[in-house]
Amino acid sequence: MTLHLVSNKPSIIGILDLQGGVHEHLEHLKRLGVAYKRVKQAEDFADLAGLIIPGGESSCLSRLLNIFEIKNVLLGAHQRGMKIWGTCAGAILLASKVVGENSCLDLINITIKRNSFGSQLDSFVSEALIPAVAPEPIPLTFIRAPKIIDVNSDVNILLKIDDYVAAAENESILVTVFHPELTGCLAFHRYFALKCGLKTTGNNYDYIDPLWKNWSWTKHAGII
């Protein structure tokens, strides 16, 4: 008799759906062929290989984690192996030190400063080469972005610009102060999926769909 073993390896990336830019992350994961789901309550953490904490308002997200009683569930899932990626506000939640306020999740040894570029009107776009993520320069979108102003020795810097760090990681956590989900580039979402041990479709790490627009996600009825 032949025994067929069933793998219980987590195979889904969740997006924390409490506040902030959720839809765009879902659309990027869909284009990569990665299984995804929204995460709002404790039971949603089942089968997650990774979790994306999106941009939004970090103080609001921190309060909602406590109101919905999922902060400890999130931390427990991380201890069991779930990887986490925080973009902008998500990076603030994951930091061990936040200038002028208490830290929330304290999962990566960085010091971060909120609203480091000014108001919403000071938002901007640029591009940078990040060799670990893609072989060609990728677009970056900064919206009321924080700056990572210090990192410990156990943190790997992926991108440094002038006097601040814009992207960093440790073994289980990825943080970006910019918003990869607001460009047509799939490089960072592919990088995080691979960090989670998941396969993605295609081979072009910096693939940018020429037809993609920053409102394209509104057309995907299966996502909204």
Catalytic annotation, pick one of 23, 25, 181, 185: 181
* Residue 181 bears catalytic tag: yes
CA distances to 33, 155, 189 from 81, in Å: 22, 18, 18
Distance CA 36, CA 119 (A): 32
Opening angle at CA 96, ends 104 and 150, nearest 5:
140
Catalytic annotation, pick one of 23, 25, 28, 179: 179
Amino acid making up residue 50: G
Distance CA 123, CA 183 (A): 14
CA distances to 9, 171, 199 from 179, in Å: 29, 21, 22
Opening angle at CA 181, ends 222 and 192, nearest 5:
95
Distance CA 25, CA 28 (A): 5
Which residue, 9, 6, 20, is CA-closest to 54?
A: 20
Active-site residue set: 88, 179, 181
